[in-house]
Structure 1
Amino acid sequence: MDRTTLDLTNRRGIITGAGQGIGRALALEFGRRGGHLLLVGRRLATLTETARLVAVEGGTTEILVEDLTQPGSVERIAETVASWGVVDLLVNNAGNVRAGRLELTRDADVHSMIDLNLTAPILLTKALLPALRQSGQRHGSILLNVSSGIALVGMPFYSIYAATKAGIAQFGESLRRELIGTGVHVATVYPGATDTAMMASQNAGADLGWGRRSLEDVITDLIAALEAGEHEINTAPEGRRAMQELNVTDPLAVDAALAPGLEALELAVRDHRSI
């Protein structure tokens, strides 16, 4: 697999879910490298704060308030960047989560996770792919999909979220192979539990296997791997990686390891919700 070093400077592109967490942190990283970014999210206030922080770092931004699950949102994003001339970055980061037993999950929450975590990034990538291809032929472009460590080890009480994150990972893998030779670098990042606002309502700790990494450490690893030209970027801590490896070789052993803590885990995650 090609691992040509990537130049992340002066990128012009779109970051979804840019109002907080990983999306905001990536906006700052590309901003300090001279990027011009379209910040997409649902809340003007948080996007405005991201734009201010990017400006401090030396980057420039435009803001587009959109709910990516609503009709017309993808078209409005594409229209916004149509006049740019160059679009060489797309970060599909926006996502949501609702944990709990499957039979207790509202149908609306099922649709919400699938629509935002999986359908929206696929449709947005489809709409922007011609521009990414064009830039890729000239100087290379980047498509970064934010999956999750839960795509590598499906955790109890996260069945729908895991399905969407595994789906976006396989979408990226398939598309990467489809785009070989086009200059479009397709990468997928698998963050483990990260200390962001999205995790604020989740109360599982390290004793239940949910030790969190700082956002700064996750982004440092992500950017270093992306600059090194990696396509599959795993930012999980070492303990979680051991479970990921065991899940490949002996998945029933993972089942057995998780079983004693199921009741405690359900109690700890039942209020985990960002929808």
Structure 2
Amino acid sequence: MNLQGKRVLITGGSSGIGYAFAEAALGKGANVMITGRRADVLRKAAKQLGERGRVECVAADVGTEEGRKETLAAALKSLGGLDVLVNNAGGVRAGRLEETTEAEIRAMIEVDLVAPILLTRAALPALRASGEGLVVNVTSGIALVAAPFYATYAGVKAGLAKFGESLRRELKGEGVHVMTVYPGATETPMMSSNRAGPELGFTRESAGAVAEAIIAGIEQGAFDVIRGGEARAKMIALNRDNPAALDQRFLDLKPALADAVRDHSAL
């Protein structure tokens, strides 16, 4: 897909990967709407992005039915239709499962899984009308290789990935493509409370690098975009061929990892 002139809706677009992707899409000539929960942060982001091209914004919580309705209605009105939906908004709470509250678990399920499914369902008529529609689901590398202390997050992100795979096949031949993105550890506000570094498997890259990879995937019509390079590829292969070896590796890291991620929360 060539993004020139395309109408793009990005959830969670006021910071992190969403903001970086909005910036990159504008550089390709797209018309963009970003959405987020914090109106002041959103307006500031839209003003900064507006220096690069046409940007609209709507303050809404896509984790709620009303927020999804507001988001889609605003996008269709302001952009005049929709060609690309980027399901990027998400939240995380790391830690042992029995120490994670029910409210935190439900928040991850609602924002990371239920919201993108329902927003996509609502947007499908507009994406079909585009004639060249695209859904981009931003999941996580943890959806491919699940790490301890991220049980719920891994579950919902893997669920989103399989949702996208199934929907891609469901929509094959109908003018709507689905692409899944698996970022690794990325320098974003969402990661600011995570103290794990490369020694624990959290080698970080910039949000801009992830955004450029997403753009390349869109232009190539890719099914997925997996970040993390050769190291990630080796872990994926090991997880498939010898998961017990990976279990042992995580066992050795577990005490240090537990301490490093115990405050990791962005909900």
- TM exceeding 0.5: yes
Aligned to 2:42: 47
- 8 Å contact 2:33–2:57 — kept in the other structure? yes
Kindly state the Cα deviation for residue 27 of structure 1 after the two structures are TM-superposed: 0.7
Deviations 1:57-111 (A, max 9, x none): 1x21221111122231112223223444431010000000000000000100000
Aligned equivalents of 1:66 and 1:194: distance in 2? 24
Kindly state the Cα deviation for residue 239 of structure 1 after the two structures are TM-superposed: 1.4
2:151 maps to which of 159, 166, 181: 159
1:32 maps to which of 9, 27, 44: 27
Kindly state the Cα deviation for residue 142 of structure 1 after the two structures are TM-superposed: 1.4
Aligned to 2:107: 112
Kindly state the Cα deviation for residue 245 of structure 1 after the two structures are TM-superposed: 1.3
5+ long unaligned stretches in structure 2: none
Aligned equivalents of 1:193 and 1:237: distance in 2? 12
Aligned equivalents of 2:217 and 2:64: distance in 1? 33
- 2:116 alignment partner, SS class: helix
- 8 Å contact 1:86–1:131 — kept in the other structure? yes
Aligned to 2:64: 70
Aligned equivalents of 1:85 and 1:249: distance in 2? 48
5+ long unaligned stretches in structure 1: 1-5
- 1:91 alignment partner, SS class: strand
1:81 maps to which of 75, 78, 91: 75
Are 1:177 and 2:169 counterparts? yes
2:218 maps to which of 226, 244, 247: 226
1:255 maps to which of 239, 242, 247: 247
- 1:182 alignment partner, SS class: coil
Are 1:129 and 2:121 counterparts? no
TM-score by structure 1 length? 0.93
Aligned to 1:22: 17
2:87 maps to which of 67, 89, 92: 92
Kindly state the Cα deviation for residue 134 of structure 1 after the two structures are TM-superposed: 1.0
- 1:142 alignment partner, SS class: strand
Deviations 1:234-268 (A, max 9, x none): 01232122111111111111101111110110000
Aligned to 1:3: none
Kindly state the Cα deviation for residue 153 of structure 1 after the two structures are TM-superposed: 0.4
Kindly state the Cα deviation for residue 48 of structure 1 after the two structures are TM-superposed: 1.6
* More divergent stretch after superposition (264-273 vs 242-251): 242-251
Letter in 2 for 1:243: M
- 8 Å contact 1:11–1:30 — kept in the other structure? no
Deviations 1:16-75 (A, max 9, x none): 000100000111111122222221101122212221232211x21221111122231112
Letter in 2 for 1:248: R
* More divergent stretch after superposition (15-24 vs 237-246): 237-246
Aligned equivalents of 1:81 and 1:201: distance in 2? 32
Kindly state the Cα deviation for residue 201 of structure 1 after the two structures are TM-superposed: 0.4
TM-score by structure 2 length? 0.96
Letter in 2 for 1:257: R
- 2:187 alignment partner, SS class: coil
- 8 Å contact 2:193–2:263 — kept in the other structure? yes
Aligned equivalents of 2:235 and 2:149: distance in 1? 17
Deviations 1:155-185 (A, max 9, x none): 1000000011001000000000000011212
1:215 maps to which of 207, 210, 214: 207
Tell me how many residue pairs correspond in the alignment.
266
- 1:62 alignment partner, SS class: strand
Aligned equivalents of 1:264 and 1:90: distance in 2? 38
